[in-house]
Every structure is written in structure tokens, then in C-alpha cells.
Structure 1
Amino acid sequence: MARLVIVSNRVPDVSDGAAPRAGGLAVGLADALVPGSVWFGWSGKCIDTRSHEVTRAEAEGVTYATIDLAEADHRAFYLGFSNATLWPLFHMMPSFVTFDSAEYKAYREVNEQFAEALMALLRPDDLIWIHDYQLLGVAADLRRRGVRNRIGFFLHIPFPAPALFELLPCAEELLAGMLAHDVIGFHTPPDRARFLEAMAAHGYQVQGDDVLHEGRRIRVVVTPIGIDVEGFSRLAGRAIRRVEAKRVVDSLNGRTLMISADRLDYTKGLPARFDAYRRFLGSYPEHRRRISFLQVAAPSREEVEKYKSLRDELAYKAGAINGAFSDFDWVPLRYMTRAAGRGLLAGMFRISHIGLVTPLRDGMNLVAMEYIAAQDGADPGVLILSRFAGAASLLPEALLVNPYDIDAMAAAMHRAMSMSLEERQERHEALLEHIRTHNATAFSRSFVAALNRFN
């Protein structure tokens, strides 16, 4: 059986020999990471000069191999081209895009550094599975070094409309590099369709859901990522017995808890979400004092000016909401700008009546799935979900909203507050079946099966 080699920008920290923490990608790949597998990527450490030295650690039979990045490369590759150019463009927010040719040069050089370091780890029959937008060029760099292994790639963020993709001066080079893969995966059919449309626009031959190039067939598949549903449900069940969860319940004084949990990122739609909550409190006064909204916004890329501005904007809006609607014994919005542990969040999801997941654009969004998994089926909460999250295509029984429509989001909050127990149970049962079908195991097995079928 071929060994699986995972390649991603970051690698879970296993320096203490323990299993990696259960983050999104780690959960999605858990079924594929059998003993003998390798996970390769950046260590998270920056050094003075570029290095190809690989550090190895083992946990539960899996090798975690890492390289350090030069500080200057990290700034240009990661903070620059990856997150100031590709991230906003792929999320279809062109006004946030900046392009710097020096940063793109660093992006290419770091991709080459990954490929060069990876060469020392590879065996001739390995299956290589590369992840996400930071590493679009690694496969092409491996091919130039003579690698003939089967290589798959999965994009965890949306693929943009072709007209937006064309804004990139390096669009042609990026597409050509992606053709070095054998299988390319997306979360949703629309993302795959936009990618194939971009390929066709650049003159490549598209046949069905595949691209034909130089006598090769590149298979383009849809394999949505999922979560460990039963594991997260158990985590939520344990978490509600924690002291922190009991403190939150006591502080609610019988009020309904509405919760959101996001990275502090402009794609998550937090300013519009706060505006919608203010509109809700103003338009549906019968719910005042009956609801408490907890927004957890973990810091993200704090050295980037756009993120600093977002944090300031949200602090202002939160203050304005609480100033306008608070009472002596009621604060309508609780706004946290620090990270909360996965277990604690699971407990918060379990005790909440409404989950609010309203990104302006998202590749999938596992928080929506975690919210469903955390619920008590006897008295489940209601999920309000952006129709522009990839998860919306899998979760039609959520209350789907346009995150740009403030009134519609406020109306969805009102509907969630007023929804009968019977309707909540029916919706939750259907949603739970969807996330059990499209779980983490299905994601990894379906993609690896596609890569194994390649010939």
C-alpha cells in the first residue's frame, strides 16, 4: 500500500510526542494519517536565513517533518502574496487585494524551498497530497525535479470567478503550475466550475470535469471536508459540565444565548453581523432582555493593517450596541477578542439556542458543522448560515441568509427566537444526517481514492 505524504503550510505541533491538537485540517485528515504516513510543512518558526534542513518528530506512528522559514520570506510569502493577494482575491473581495512582484517572487521561492526539502523524504510510490492556496506551485517544482509520483491538491478556500482571477498578473503561471497535479479537489461544485471555466478561458482543453493537457488527464473532483461528528458531540457533552460553561449559564439568567465563533478576519462578515444584531434589537423589541449574543473573535494576522482596522471597527460597533440597548442588569453583546479552546467552544455551542455563521465568503466553514454536532437533539438550537459559505450547499435546513442583507439577517434572528421545538428538532435531525454523511472520514477517503484511481 502506497504511503501518504501530506504537505501543508503549517504542521501540527507534536514536539512533545503527543497527538496533534484536533484543529480543522488535523480532524479532516485523521482517517488518512495511518502509521507510516508523513506530514510535511512549515514549523511555525522564523530564522535569519533560508534553510532546507528538515526536522522530524513522531506521534502515533506518523512522521511530522518541518522546515523553518527565513523571516523575510515569511513576511513576503505568507503575509504578502498568500494573504494580501490570494486570500482576498479568492474570497472575491478585490478591493482588499494588493500585488507586489517581489512578494510573488518570494512566494515562488518558498514553494521551491518546500519542494527541495520534500525531495529527501519521498519514496517512488508515495501518494503526495498538497493543501491550500499557499502552495499552488509546489507540484510544478517537484515535477521539475523529476518527481513522477501521483500528486493531489486540495483548495480549502473558494476559487474566484474567472473575471476576478484574471486580475492577477501571474494568473497564467499559477494555472499552468496547477496542471502538475493529477487530482485537484474543491469543496463545492461551483468552485470546481469556476476553476474549469478559468482553465478554458486560458485555452486549456476541458472535458467534462477534467482538464486534458499534454496527453494527461487532470481529474477535478468535489470532496467536501467534514468533522468527526460523534467525537465533537461527546466533547460538547463533557464541556457543559465544566465550570466555565456553568458560569455562562448562570450569567444568562434564563436568557437565550446566540453565539458566533470566528477568526478576526474581514471575510467573516463581523461588521455586518453586528449591524444585523443592532437592527434586530431595534426592529423586534419583544426580544430585548431575552437574548445575549456572544461573539468570540480570535486574533488573526494582527501585524496586518487591515486586521487592526477591523478590530477597531468591531470594538466601536460593540460599544455602540451596548450603549444603545444595555440595561442595568443586561448587556446585549459580549465581545471577546481572544481565542477560546475547542472544548470550551463546544460547550458554549451546546448551551446556545442560536448559532450565527455568516461569512461574506467561505470555502466550507466547519464551525457550522460543529454547532450542529454539539446540539442536544431533544432541544436543539437553530443555525443561521450564510448562503456564501461552502457548507450552505450541504446544510439546506439551516436558516440561509445573504450576509450583505442586514434586514434579512435580523429577520432570521427573530425567526430563530420564535421557532417551535418541533421545527427545531426536524431541522436539526436533517442537518445532523448531512454532516454524518459528509464527515471527516468521507472527505479523506474520497480524495485519496480519487488519487489512487489515477493512472
Structure 2
Amino acid sequence: MSRLVVVSNRVGPLKDTGRAGGLAVALVDALTETGGLWFGWSGDVSEEGTFGNLKQGGGTRKVAMATVDMTQADYDEFYAGYANRTLWPVLHYRLDLADFDRRFEEGYRRVNERFATRLRPLLQADDIIWVHDYHFLGFAAELRAMEVGNPIGFFLHIPFPAPEVLAGLPNAERLVRRMLAYDVVGFQTRRDAANFRRFAVEELGAVERDGDKLDIAGGTVVARAFPIGIDAAGFARQATTPEARRNTARTEKLLVGRQQIIGVDRIDYSKGLPERFRAFGRLLEDYPENRGKVSLMQVAPPSRAELDAYAEIRRELEELSGNINGRFADLDWTPIRYMTRSFTRRALAGLYRASRVALVTPLRDGMNLVAKEYVAAQRAEDPGVVVLSRFAGAAEGMPEALIVNPHSAEGVASSLQTALNMPLDERRSRWQAIFDRICQNDAAAWATSFLETLRGRATN
């Protein structure tokens, strides 16, 4: 079987540290199955950058790891600049927050080209190349310019916006045209894939064929949804580990028979955290019987703290939680427990199991694996309920969740009230349907489906 080469912004780890996400686990499994190479940024900034020594190591007998540094200019323009100040907000429908600096765009193209240059000598004739996420939208175009003819697939882990939104990005047509150098372009949802195909048809003159293929310039590209999953059975086992059980027991002891709603998100404007706090406050206002009986635990580790938009969200969350706690708290009850520390996946599994409701309300999200992890962690005999944003990719595959509009505080509060009072039989029925589906469509099935499609393109 052909060797798999994975390209992503960050590499590894190959061993389970307790904090690795579902993506890392799925990629390690796929790489181990065929043998392969994982290539990307080292995480280090140096004067030599991509011209420095290739860092190799940390791999296994079957999987090699290779990384390169960036210069400070590369980091500022490619990573902090175009990737996170330009692409991230645009792809999450936030043109108002995007920074359209030409230097960022030039840095993005430069780093894609340099990374491709460093990968090129490592490739073997029959390699299958799988590139990940918005950092490397143009990576295949750079490899094709170097006469790399290997099958190259791409998977976008975050949303792909409607053409009317993406058109606001300067040179959007050129960027999407470069994406058409891939053989397969994968998305989290059918909506995202349709947005991409529509842009290619309307703006670039591509011809859509057979529902998920684009013919353009004599070539064909598959653009299809491959919804990412988790290792549902593995995460269910995490919930029974000693660390998870300790966290479940500690939380249940603190609750003293009360009910807990849980949210777990990085601090990011796409996650809808201020809207979530307001919805919880509305729950206490509109349904006063919950006062003293229901609390919200929000785990929100900081991210991209150097960006002004993130610092503003953090200030807003502190003000909102302080205001709600000040209005409703009692001597023995705090409405919102807001924590900015991170937890291991085993610890989170224990917190999920102790919570009656998962509140997953991003304003936009590619998938959102928290909703799936929460379901996997539940006790089958007494499961909780997911209240899920219609704008999370997970909503396409979890119709049994309570689907909400995160912009409506009243609507979210009403659904929370429904979840908190849902009869056991209904909770079990909804949970079982979702659990069966996430076990079937797990991370391994996601990787297998994508790679089979890419290998199929290689033989056509």
C-alpha cells in the first residue's frame, strides 16, 4: 500500500498524552496503518526559518516526523497574519474582523511555497499526500508547480462560507483556483462543500458534475463532505478511567443534587460564548425555578491572546459572569463557574458525565467535537442532553439534539428548560440514536472514507 504523507500546521504527538485531540488520534491511526510521514511547522521561530535544518525525530518505526521552523516575519505574516487575522474571520463569516493586509497575503504564499520546497525531496513516487486546514489552501498548487504528480487531497476543518461572503476576501478567486490543484477537497458539511462548488462554478467557470465533481481547465476535482468523527468507543472508555471518575465524583459532590450545564470551548469569537452566558442568564430570569438548582460550568482556555478581538471577548465574559453571579448567586450556589484553565481529555470525560446538559452554541463551527465527546461520555442508563447550535457542523448529523439559534437568548433558554426537564425515556432514546451514529461514523471511518476517495482518484 502507498505511503501516506500528512501535512499540517502542527505535527504530532504520536503518543497519547491525554490532551491530544481527535484529529491527532485519527491521523496517527491512518499513518500507522500504511506507514508514512508527518510534515509541518516545528512550532519554533528562528533566524534561518524554513532554510534551516529539517528537524526529524519523535517518530516511530512506521511513522517519520519532519518539521521546519519559521522566521519571525513568516510567523507574523503567515500564521498570526493571513491565517488568523484574515482567513479565520472570513471563513467564519466575520468580514468585519478581518485584516486585509497585502503583506499578510504575500507571506502566506511565501510560506506555502517554502514548505512545499522542503517537502518535495522527501516525497516518494507512490506517496499519497493529505494536506490539512486553512494554513495550506494553496499547498497543492505549489507542489504542482514543482512537477509533483502524486495524488494530493485537502481537508478543511473549519467552515467554508457562502460565495457572497468569500467574495469579500481580496483575491478570493485566485485562492480558490489554487485549491483546485488538489484532487480531492473535503469539507465538514454538505453546506460547506456546496458553497465551495458554487463559488467555483459562479466565479471561476467550473462545471459541476455528478453532484460533487468540478470540471475545470481540463481536470476534475472532487469536492465533497467528509464529516469528521471521534473515537467514540475510546472516549466512552475514557469516562471510566480513574481520573475521569475522580472528576465525576468531585463535581457531583459539589452539586449536591443540583444539575449542571457544561460548555467547553477555546476563547474565540466564533464560539458564541457571550451569547451563551446571556442565554443562561435568560434561563434564570424566565424560569426562576432554576435559581439555586442549576449552574453553568464553562471551560474556556485562552487562544490567540495576542489578538485584540480575543482579549475583548475575555473581558466581556468576565463582566457577564460577574454580573449574572452578582444578580443571582446565593450563599451556597454560584450560577456560572467560568474557568480559563485546560483539562486532559480524561478529566473532561468525567466532567461531561456529571453534567445533565451540554451547551454547544457556536456562531459558526466546522464540526465541533465537544458535542460528540459529551454523548460518548454519558451513562447509558441516565444520559444527558445536547443543546446544539444550528451553525455547528455537528448539527447535520445530530438531529436528535435540541437544535437552537445561538443568537436567540430566549430560544436557547427555552431549549435549556426543555433539556433540564426531559423525561428519562426521551433522554435515552435521543442519546442512543446519536451514540450509535457517532460510533459508526467515527474518526477511523472518516479517515478511511477520505483516503479511499483520494486513492480512487489516483487510479482514474
TM-score of the superposed pair, with normalisation by structure 1: 0.97
Partner residue of 2:85? Answer: 84
Question: Residue 82 and residue 421 in structure 1: after superposition, are their counterparts in 2 closer, same or farther (change >3 A)?
Answer: same
Matched, 1:249 2:252: yes
* Counterpart amino acid of residue 373 in structure 1: A
Question: Residue 373 and residue 60 in structure 1: after superposition, are their counterparts in 2 closer, same or farther (change >3 A)?
Answer: farther
Partner residue of 2:272? Answer: 269
Question: Residue 241 and residue 264 in structure 1: after superposition, are their counterparts in 2 closer, same or farther (change >3 A)?
Answer: closer
Question: Could you tell me whether the CA contact under 8 Å between 1:259 and 1:356 is conserved in 2?
Answer: yes
Deviates more, 1:130-139 or 1:51-60: 51-60
Q: How many pairs does the alignment contain?
A: 452
In structure 2, distance between residues paired with 1:60 and 1:258: 44
Partner residue of 1:324? Answer: 327
In structure 2, distance between residues paired with 1:281 and 1:239: 34
Question: Could you tell me whether the CA contact under 8 Å between 1:34 and 1:62 is conserved in 2?
Answer: yes
Matched, 1:10 2:13: no
Please give the secondary structure, in 2, of the residue aligned with 1:359: coil
Q: Could you tell me the percent identity over the aligned residues? A: 48
Partner residue of 1:34? Answer: 32
Partner residue of 2:208? Answer: 206
Partner residue of 1:152? Answer: 153
**Residue 46 of structure 1: how far off its partner (Å):** 1.2
Q: 1:311-337 deviations in whole A, cap 9, x for unaligned?
A: 000000000010000001110110001
Q: How does 1:166-245 map to 2 (within 5 A)?
A: 166-202=167-203, 203-207=205-209, 208-239=211-242, 242-245=245-248
**Residue 384 of structure 1: how far off its partner (Å):** 0.5
In structure 2, distance between residues paired with 1:240 and 1:29: 25
Question: Could you tell me whether the CA contact under 8 Å between 1:240 and 1:350 is conserved in 2?
Answer: no
Matched, 1:125 2:126: yes
Matched, 1:302 2:305: yes
In structure 2, distance between residues paired with 1:291 and 1:49: 54
Equivalent residue for 2:414, pick from 411, 416, 441: 411
In structure 2, distance between residues paired with 1:403 and 1:216: 41
Question: Could you tell me whether the CA contact under 8 Å between 2:247 and 2:351 is conserved in 1?
Answer: no
* Counterpart amino acid of residue 4 in structure 1: L
Please give the secondary structure, in 2, of the residue aligned with 1:51: helix
In structure 2, distance between residues paired with 1:23 and 1:71: 27
In structure 2, distance between residues paired with 1:447 and 1:255: 44
In structure 2, distance between residues paired with 1:77 and 1:163: 25
Partner residue of 2:42? Answer: 43
**Residue 103 of structure 1: how far off its partner (Å):** 0.6
In structure 2, distance between residues paired with 1:387 and 1:109: 37
In structure 1, distance between residues paired with 2:171 and 2:134: 14
* Counterpart amino acid of residue 369 in structure 1: K
Question: Could you tell me whether the CA contact under 8 Å between 2:46 and 2:69 is conserved in 1?
Answer: yes
Question: Could you tell me whether the CA contact under 8 Å between 1:240 and 1:246 is conserved in 2?
Answer: no
**Residue 170 of structure 1: how far off its partner (Å):** 1.5
Question: Could you tell me whether the CA contact under 8 Å between 2:358 and 2:374 is conserved in 1?
Answer: yes
**Residue 94 of structure 1: how far off its partner (Å):** 1.5
Matched, 1:258 2:256: no
Matched, 1:391 2:391: no
Please give the secondary structure, in 2, of the residue aligned with 1:400: strand
**Residue 126 of structure 1: how far off its partner (Å):** 0.2
Q: How does 1:83-122 map to 2 (within 5 A)?
A: 83-122=84-123
Point out where structure 1 has 5 or more consecutive residues left out of the alignment. none
* Counterpart amino acid of residue 132 in structure 2: H
Partner residue of 1:23? Answer: 21
In structure 2, distance between residues paired with 1:176 and 1:377: 48
Please give the secondary structure, in 1, of the residue aligned with 2:316: helix
In structure 2, distance between residues paired with 1:95 and 1:109: 26
TM-score of the superposed pair, with normalisation by structure 2: 0.96
In structure 1, distance between residues paired with 2:332 and 2:391: 37
Question: Residue 241 and residue 111 in structure 1: after superposition, are their counterparts in 2 closer, same or farther (change >3 A)?
Answer: closer
In structure 2, distance between residues paired with 1:280 and 1:101: 45
**Residue 60 of structure 1: how far off its partner (Å):** 5.6
Question: Could you tell me whether the CA contact under 8 Å between 2:78 and 2:104 is conserved in 1?
Answer: yes
Matched, 1:421 2:424: yes
Q: 1:358-417 deviations in whole A, cap 9, x for unaligned?
A: 000111111110000000010000100001100000000000000011100000111111
In structure 1, distance between residues paired with 2:261 and 2:399: 20
Please give the secondary structure, in 1, of the residue aligned with 2:338: strand
* Counterpart amino acid of residue 86 in structure 1: L
Deviates more, 1:292-301 or 1:207-216: 207-216
* Counterpart amino acid of residue 131 in structure 1: H
**Residue 204 of structure 1: how far off its partner (Å):** 2.1
Q: 1:206-251 deviations in whole A, cap 9, x for unaligned?
A: 2232111222111112211000011000001115654443222211
Point out where structure 2 has 5 or more consecutive residues left out of the alignment. none
Matched, 1:355 2:333: no
Equivalent residue for 1:400, pick from 381, 399, 403: 403
